[in-house]
A and B are shown apart, each in its own frame.
Chain A
Amino acid sequence: MTAQTLYDKLWDSHVVHVEQDGTALIYIDRHLVHEVTSPQAYEGLRLAGRKPWRVDSIVATADHNTPTRNWDKGIDGITDPISRVQVETLDANIKAFGAKVYFPFLDRRQGIVHVIGPEQGATLPGMTVVCGDSHTSTHGAFGCLAFGIGTSEVEHVLATQCMVMKKSKTMQIVVDGELGTGVTGKDIVLAVIGRIGSGGGTGYAIEFAGSAIRGLSMEGRMTVCNMAIEAGARTGLVAVDDTTIGYLGDRPFSPHRAMWDRAVAYWRTLTSDDGACFDRVVTFRAEEIKPQVTWGTNPQMVTTVDGRVPDPAQEKDPVQREWMERALKYMDLKPNTPITEIRLDKIFIGACTNSRIDDLRLAAQVVKDRRVASNIKLAMVVPGSGLVKAQAEQEGLDRIFTAAGFEWREPGCSMCLGMNEDQLSPGERCASTSNRNFEGRQGPGGRTHLVSPAMAAAAAIAGHFVDVRTFG
């Protein structure tokens, strides 16, 4: 048999039907549903008189609109009436159509959909996982085929349990070597996007490999796969190994005892075979990756913490130059400014990129026994889920953050996209552990710099960016 990539194996094991031109029906094992991209899909089902094909594939939660404060007020804590309708619509749809499990607003297991899937063991190796959200690529960290879909596709999966798609090309990104202290999965993936560009992975499924990737925790791998979409790839993957299997041991929806050994034996096959061919291979040395900071309005506009804001005048391509100039104008930055001289107004530690327990531990280590700088108007930590929050509180991380002057909030997407009231005001500058720095993403006129949790924490203390590697 010819050597196969992990992507090939996952694809082959889910093909229901293939047309002559290669268009395939791919079976979907797990469908994650949230309140923003599902209402029109359920409405579509209703209008057509259809039912979900397989209710027990559905895991649902409300995360985008939910407030991170005032949970004691219950549903009245959602002050925006339109947001509230969306959350209530999800409630009603799940009630009407059913789900394997639903973590509604206020449930102690509620959280960002990409945090709770893995945390519950609802994301397993070998699955196909979809969600009406582009950061579904996160789940690929478990050696499953996971990708974001639009609302019509949500409806299609609800009604048929399948996706109509064509096979992607494959790209292997190899990061070998050992990461320096203070350098994390976030820095790896930002460096990757900086190199291949935000459209570099378009049309590809990216497998992240190499000793530095294997050395990451599951949380770190999820961070890397989360941002595969920021490189244009709908799917990010990491092969299964002991770290994957160790993580899944005691999760509520992991296979139970009788099945466990059989499942693990299967999961162990979920790696790319030696000699498997990729359409493109890009290699990195882990030692060369430094803490990253974005300076522009696209994740590709990134540099190292010891670098400077680039000068568009040096750019030869006129379209690129124009784009850089626009970005610098929006970000209110001058060419050649050292990154460490950029002063901040707000700090956001959260989002499906970096709101898991590992992320919070790394940030807490940096802020312990220190104070947030006086120029920082707001520094907040938003755990990815209720269970992450509870775990962090058990470890005393909440007290480390609040003693330093951070706010400790309830879980949700929060200021990653500001659909609730957590937003930047026009002109405010934020160090954020989220994944998108687009114009207006965190609030109209807001300016976002993407960094790792440790870098965000250090920036909170210093009031400007600092190199976390030397921030003693």
Chain B
Amino acid sequence: MEKFVRKEGLVAPLDRANVDTDAIIPKQFLKSIKRTGFGPNLFDEWRYRDHGEPGQDCAKRPLNPDFVLNQERYRGATVLLARENFGCGSSREHAPWALLQYGFQAVIAPGFADIFYNNSLKNGLLLIKLDATIVDRLFREAQPAPGYRLAVDLEAQTVTTPGGESFTFDIDPFRKHCILNGLDDIGLTLEHADKIRAFETVHRERQPWLFD
């Protein structure tokens, strides 16, 4: 996982509530046994006019010009602005993989689904929860302003607008530490291997049938 430092990037507004992970990356792309290559199929059904299948050359596919990410002004966007309950539905980690591999480094929304939230942070995709009224304001600022950028500072836990206005966001200190330092969760947990073994011994005495 890459370390997350202070990042400043072009904002793409996706003005839809309840965007589910089936929409973020449709099921046919889940057949891959790899962790990479999902970027071109991010939002596949919204982004292209034809039906996508794994292994296609996406550069040759007809784009849906109405879809926000296909507009020239949002090319190279790294911050996705979204609405309530983003990432609901299936637990597929292919959703944060696709967002990251497309180029997004952070998503800002009033709320995220739980599993998607964990999956994203584990991969270094920063999810920033801001008040619905603030998100609404960011939408209204970003839409009429081509080149609109936001600065995300994870250390300080702030999002700063081009006008210099700053909003703070919450993040769990453990997750923050992991993302800032690009740490591997598994390695950290295994530092507690003795505790896990000790727990197992007690657990086995209490519920021996679980170990049959």
Q: Do A and B come from one complex?
A: yes
- Can you name 9 A-B pairs with beta carbons within 8 Å? A53-B196, A134-B89, A147-B115, A148-B91, A229-B115, A262-B208, A320-B17, A419-B27, A438-B23
**B189 to A162, Cβ gap below 8 A?**
yes
**B32 to A82, Cβ gap below 8 A?**
yes
Across the A-B interface, give the 6 residue pairs with the lowest CB-CB distance, nearest first.
Answer: A150-B119, A255-B209, A39-B33, A199-B85, A150-B93, A134-B91
Chain B: minimal CB distance from A413 (Å): 10
Question: Which one of A16, A21, A233, A438 lies within 8 Å of B20 (CB-CB)?
Answer: A438
**A83 to B31, Cβ gap below 8 A?**
yes
**A259 to B115, Cβ gap below 8 A?**
no
Q: Which residue numbers of A lie inside 8 Å of B, CB to CB?
A: 13-14, 16-17, 19, 21, 23, 25, 27, 29, 36-37, 39-40, 43, 48, 50, 53, 56, 64-65, 80, 82-83, 85-86, 89, 124, 126-127, 132-134, 147-153, 155-156, 159-162, 164, 166, 198-199, 202-203, 229, 232-234, 255-256, 259, 262-263, 266, 298, 300, 319-320, 322-323, 326, 417-419, 436, 438-441, 444
Q: A56-B211, A232-B88 are in contact. Are A153 and B173 (CB under 8 A)?
A: no
- Cβ contacts under 8 Å, A323 to chain B: 16-18
B residues 156-202 with Cβ under 8 Å of A?
A: 172-174, 185-186, 189-190, 192-193, 195-196, 199-200
**A160 to B186, Cβ gap below 8 A?**
yes
Q: A27-B200, A148-B91, A439-B45 are in contact. Are A234 and B31 (CB under 8 A)?
A: no
* Identity of the chain A residue whose Cβ is nearest the Cβ of B132 in the assembled complex: A319
* Identity of the chain A residue whose Cβ is nearest the Cβ of B52 in the assembled complex: A444
**B172 to A21, Cβ gap below 8 A?**
yes
**B114 to A232, Cβ gap below 8 A?**
yes
Chain A: minimal CB distance from B23 (Å): 6
Is B83 part of the binding interface, using a Cβ–Cβ cutoff of 8 Å? yes
- Cβ contacts under 8 Å, B200 to chain A: 27, 161
**A417 to B211, Cβ gap below 8 A?**
no
Q: A202-B85, A323-B17 are in contact. Are A29 and B45 (CB under 8 A)?
A: no
Q: Give Cα distance in the complex from A132 to B122, angstroms.
A: 15
**B123 to A152, Cβ gap below 8 A?**
yes
- Cβ contacts under 8 Å, A439 to chain B: 22-23, 45
Chain B: minimal CB distance from A229 (Å): 8
- Cβ contacts under 8 Å, B122 to chain A: 150, 152-153
Mark interface residues in B134-175 (1 if CB within 8 Å of A CB, else 0).
000000000000000000000000000000000000001110
Chain A: minimal CB distance from B76 (Å): 27
**A19 to B174, Cβ gap below 8 A?**
yes
Question: Which one of A13, A16, A50, A417 lies within 8 Å of B186 (CB-CB)?
Answer: A50
